[in-house]
Chain A
């Protein structure tokens, strides 16, 4: 049950990976709808001492 926790994944990362897997095996029309929910262009920037860090793309596939 907690193989993913032992591997160092947080619950949210585990859920994201599992949802991706589910979406990829759906049938055609449901898949098209579901893939729309995967669309993300999110960017994150980590700040240190009041200085903005580099804006990095949050890649949903590369979770670790």
Chain B
């Protein structure tokens, strides 16, 4: 086996174009190392994509049932034509999670929140999920009142969301909040999501609804209903956000795997070309050496 170092020295005083071969030969090992590491990355992203694809249908099912509850309780607000008066103390809630590697999910919510905060800089902010909290705490630290972590760690549950809703309602009462908006990622298709906001209404707004008199109700029921509706809407937003996140993660990992495949193909070509150049150079040495004898 010819020593590549010896051939490198022999070739080094050949001119111009062949001098790049020297550099090529020396990095044959490097190319191999790089190719192997990209291959490993490709395997990891492929398995992450598999995991995410199995989670998507489950998340979608939860989202469908959450939609029914959310739509039902919001139906009352629509029929009663509840609306915000000029809100002096608005509350904005951001739905995200602690998990990364899921595409533009979290930045999308942050962007929407920031746009809203620019219009209403006095709003109180509540964040569900570490990712958006990190992004918002750069500019809007002073607005944040609460943040939650480990939301929907396995799946979103109404129970957990009700606990969150309860804490938010307590805080909202402390701060004298009179309107609330939830920013979340609405699941459109498995490859598309849309960041939207949905309003939720305080008890006062509900009581002031123009068409509320068309409903018959006992004392105290409205207060309970306002809380229940808030928990439903929050659960709906968390469930949709969860489904969007799983779908976006799947897409992101699919793209990553595809890109890894392309990089591997390119590196393989470079490796082969470099290897062939090294062999050609050694052949030249032999022939030149032989013809000199």
**Chain A: residues with CB nearer than 8 A to chain B?**
1-2, 5, 10-13, 15-16, 19, 37-47, 49-52, 55, 58, 60
Closest chain A CB from B142 CB (angstroms) = 4
Q: Is the Cβ of A11 less than 8 Å from the Cβ of B159?
A: no
* B52 contacts A by Cβ under 8 Å: no
A49 and B150 form a contact (CB under 8 A): no
Who on chain A is nearest to B148 by CB? A44
B123 to chain A minimum Cβ distance, whole angstroms, is 14
| Complex CA–CA separation, A1 to B145 (angstroms) | 33
- Inter-chain contact total with CB atoms closer than 8 Å: 84
- Provide the bound-state CA to CA distance between A46 and B134, in Å: 15
5 residue pairs from A and B, CB less than 8 Å apart: A5-B220, A16-B162, A38-B157, A40-B157, A42-B150
List residues of chain B with CB under 8 Å of any chain A CB.
137, 141-142, 144-151, 153-154, 157-160, 162-167, 169-171, 220, 223-224, 227-228, 231
**Which of A12, A13, A55 lies in contact with B228, CB distance below 8 A?**
A12
The answer for the CA separation of A55 and B148 in the assembled complex, in Å, is: 8
Listed from nearest, the 7 A-B pairs whose CB atoms lie closest are A50-B141, A11-B224, A12-B166, A50-B142, A11-B227, A43-B149, A40-B160
Chain A residue nearest to B140 (CB atoms) is: A50
In the assembled complex, the Cα of A41 lies from the Cα of B150 at a distance in Å of 6
Given A12-B169, A58-B167, 7 more contacts at CB 8 Å?
Answer: A12-B231, A15-B162, A40-B160, A46-B145, A47-B141, A50-B144, A58-B164
The distance from the CB of A51 to the nearest CB of chain B, in whole angstroms, is: 8
Given contacts A10-B227, A60-B163, contact A37 B148 (CB under 8 A): no
- Measured in the bound complex, the distance between the Cα atoms of B153 and A41 in whole Å is 7
Shortest distance between the CB of B145 and any CB in chain A (Å): 6
Residue of A nearest to B171 (CB): A46
Given A16-B162, A49-B142: A11 touches B223 (CB 8 Å cut-off): yes
Q: Separation in Å of the B232 CB from the closest CB of chain A?
A: 11
Q: Bound complex: CA of A43 vs CA of B220, how far in Å?
A: 31
Distance, CA A63 to CA B175, complexed state (A): 21
Whether A10 and B150, one on each chain, are in contact in the complex, defined by CB atoms closer than 8 angstroms, is: no
B159–A40 contact, CB under 8 A? yes
Contact with A60, one of B159, B170, B220 (Cβ below 8 angstroms): B159
User: Which A residues are CB-close (under 8 A) to B147?
Assistant: 44-45, 47, 52
Contacts of B223 in A (CB 8 A): 11
When distances are taken between beta carbons in the complex, the residues of chain A under 8 Å from B227 are 10-12
A55 vs B133: C-alpha distance in the bound complex, in angstroms?
13
Contact residue among A2, A13, A39, A51 (Cβ-Cβ distance under 8 Å from B154):
A39
Whole-angstrom CA separation of A16 from B149 in the bound complex: 20
Q: Across the interface, which residues of A come within 8 angstroms of B231, CB to CB?
A: 12
Cβ-defined contact, A11 with B163, below 8 A: no
- CB B62 to nearest CB in A, in angstroms, measures 11
Smallest Cβ-Cβ distance to B231: which chain A residue: A12
Give every chain B residue within 8 A of A40 (Cβ-Cβ): 153, 157, 159-160, 163
A11 smallest CB distance to B (angstroms): 4
Let me know if B166 and A13 touch, CB within 8 A. yes
Residue from B148, B159, B170, B223 whose CB has the most chain A CB atoms within 10 Å = B159
Contacts of A52 in B (CB 8 A): 137, 144, 147
Q: Is A37's CB under 8 angstroms from B157's CB?
A: yes
Q: A1: which B residues are within 8 A, CB to CB?
A: 220
